[in-house]
Amino acid sequence: MTAYPLLAVSGEFERRFATPMVGRERELQALRAAYARSVEDRSCQLFTVLGSAGVGKSRLVAEFLGAHQARVVRGRCLS
């Protein structure tokens, strides 16, 4: 198998979710509460979303960000 080096990446990774999110209201409410605290206190909040692959971490964050204007710093870990 021949391997080729990655020379450039353009654009931003984006997911589109066409179906409604189900069963994550408690987690979404925790995100909303942290955001409300940061607005009220004019402070930064750290909210870490952890979970196994496929449990809906990206979807949860996308749902939250779709309804709020917030500055978000994202990170990723390699396996």
What's the rounded mean pLDDT across residues 5-15?
A: 75
Q: What is the pLDDT of residue 14?
A: 61
Spell out the residues 6+ positions from residue 65 whose beta carbon is closer than 8 angstroms to its own. Answer: 72
Q: What is the pLDDT of residue 65?
A: 87
What's the rounded mean pLDDT across residues 30-57?
A: 89
What's the rounded mean pLDDT across residues 8-26?
A: 76
% the chain with pLDDT above 70: 91
d(CA 65, CA 29): 13
Q: What is the pLDDT of residue 2?
A: 92
Q: What is the pLDDT of residue 37?
A: 92
